[in-house]
Amino acid sequence: MSTASKVLIAIGVLCIIIGILWPVISKTPIGRLPGDILIKRENSTFYFPIMTSIVISIVLSLILFLFGRFR
């Protein structure tokens, strides 16, 4: 099996896992953390999840570090 087909299968499996876990993920406070910027005006809303982005970045960095460390 070629590398491209393995990557496509992995992406498909990841999408299925995310789809199954979506109801659980949507109930977590991720996305509504203190530090996220929310500006509501009369007819518009601006949301910038800066703290959520930082937390996700740190978690992904740790996961990738551990995968590289124990590989």
- Residues 12 and 4: their CA atoms lie apart, in Å, by 12
Residue 69 has pLDDT above 90, yes or no: no
What does pLDDT average to over the chain?
89
**Separation in Å, CA 67 to CA 5, 13, 32, 49, 64:** 22, 19, 29, 27, 5
What global pTM score does this model have? 0.59
Q: Which residues contact 46 (CB under 8 A, 6 or more apart)?
A: 37, 38, 39
Q: Which residues contact 35 (CB under 8 A, 6 or more apart)?
A: 50, 51, 54
pLDDT in tens, 31-61: 788 889 999 999 999 999 999 899 999 999 9
- pLDDT at 59 (0 to 100): 94
- Residues 37 and 48: their CA atoms lie apart, in Å, by 5
